[in-house]
Amino acid sequence: MPAFYPPLSLLLAAALLAACSKVRSAPPPPASPDDGVEVSPEAFRSLRWLEGRWQGSIVGATPVYVAHEFENDTLMRTRVYAGGSFSEAVDSGTIVLSGGRLLAEMGEGRWVADVVDDESLRLVRLANAPGEAAIRRLAPDRISVRWLWHDEQGGTQRRTFTLRRAGP
């Protein structure tokens, strides 16, 4: 099975390997697209702060290189790269405005947005998604990514990391 990289860097297989304290709980059931917030075209455009190339790392894990690009008024592409040259994409996904919902897809994972504004984006899992992501703009050149998932024993795992802008 190919490596999985959560959307918006979000989003990283490396986060799944990091050790965290465990909280015993059963994983929540997957959301449905109806669980997402209503997203207008203006709200989708308000996510332009995500556009560009981002890099960072998780302590003890490999560096992260990701780029987001608006292709049109309803589609943003996400690409994960092997290195800081941003030349070799190793995974890709989409964030699509469809039927008033914001849907993200990468590999076999699918998410729906339940928070969308000019400072943050939160994606909750739909089909085959290994976890949830919350992305927050800290400054024009920095974002925070919080990744939440459940381990095989049902314990809740969390990892938060910061990415900095690497280019347009």
- Point out the residues of the chain with pLDDT beneath 70: 1-30, 59-60
Domain presence at residue 8: no
Distance CA 58, CA 14 (A): 8
117 is a domain residue: yes
| CATH number of the domain that residue 34 is part of | 2.40.128
Is residue 1 one of the residues assigned to a domain?
no
The model carries a pTM of 0.78
* Number of folded domains that form the chain: 1
Give the integer Cα–Cα distance in Å for 120 and 135. 6
Residue 2: inside a domain = no
Is 152 within a domain?
yes
Quote the domain boundaries for residue 20. Answer: 13-167
Render pLDDT for 110-142 as a digit per residue (tens, 0 to 9).
Answer: 999 999 999 999 999 988 888 999 999 999 999
The answer to whether position 6 is within a domain reads no
